[in-house]
Structure 1
């Protein structure tokens, strides 16, 4: 193509990067329906906004647990320490890339090619940063806690396991998926008894029997707060000495269906053998 035939690029417009598809207008049709990625991103923002106020009042300990329900459609396995917190993951620099070209045989012998071979690692441009919201969830929590303090609202600390509850060290698997009414369902499982640990610290009663599990909507997030029923939140659990599964359902509005939640719990329970 003749360079003169190229259309000038609109001022301020850069070449598309791998992250530009986060914007709904990138498909070339203004006003088009949001892509599934955009809808998933908006869904995460709605869920994150819902937990920000809760985590702000509960403090850092509760943030570590409530933030787990923000993710959507992910599955991960974490090693937990004796106090039940996820172990930190080590990160390292990206592997350097080496570019080289092989010599090209010429007539009457092997002659070096016009290409160059480089033995040293070439500098690699860092990947473009993924577009983020103007404020992270953690920043919003800090600001919300500061505002609460100014308004005279006492910040509550999350409940911790009783001294006689020894949290075994092992793997905890978590998976998040969409649930009814644009909500989320978090499935937490481990091959040991999670009674009195993690989200099971929140339950404020013995719950109601639903199949082989128990479910509750009454929670106590701090020792010095009054237990309250949360209409849009549901926790179901089933534990034994050898394995535990619990599901935490959160919906923007309406009560989460306990039978649907327990069905997800049972699926995971059977899969664990």
Structure 2
């Protein structure tokens, strides 16, 4: 029996800084690379063309989940491995992926342990690690859900989930400015999605914010990540407050 074919799929926008380094870690051993661009105005598509002809565009942004679902419609291989442009497949993970395809068990999808860095340091606590995500699966078996943000792969009933060895390295934030800008976008997306569906108040915002700091810095051992762990916990607290405050402000925008 022939080994199943493998595609790598990415949704991107303005990723000229990271894209080549990401694709270098999969180029030459996967069968297909699928890029769905959301309307980049930098060199992203120019770089992508050095690795694949399978480059598509959808500038009518539907949210992260729907965009991934659209990208999967262009995949022709038996399996799909999902990456973000700021991620890198390590040699150990590559071997584990290839072994999974060689075995090719029925009704099985795979989780990958992502190790993320922030401000020049890998974060090994703070709730960031371990970070097991379903990223490899047979294309006929499942797909991402419809969530606008924090999308996940759907897990059909009766499916087997296995963990792969090796890490997926994730280079999140190089600077505080980049981190704040990215989080601001997620705050808006979250509030857009929850508006009219979820109630909020200032006391709710404060309670959730304080709880998020306590959970990340104390219970999830963020203090072991040093000063960066404190910064990340503080930023998370601020982001959490901003999400719920934004939701409250929207519902009271016409009130004095």
TM-score of the pair, normalised by structure 1? 0.24
Query: Which entry has the higher C-alpha Rg, 1 or 2?
Result: 1
Structure having the higher helix fraction is 2
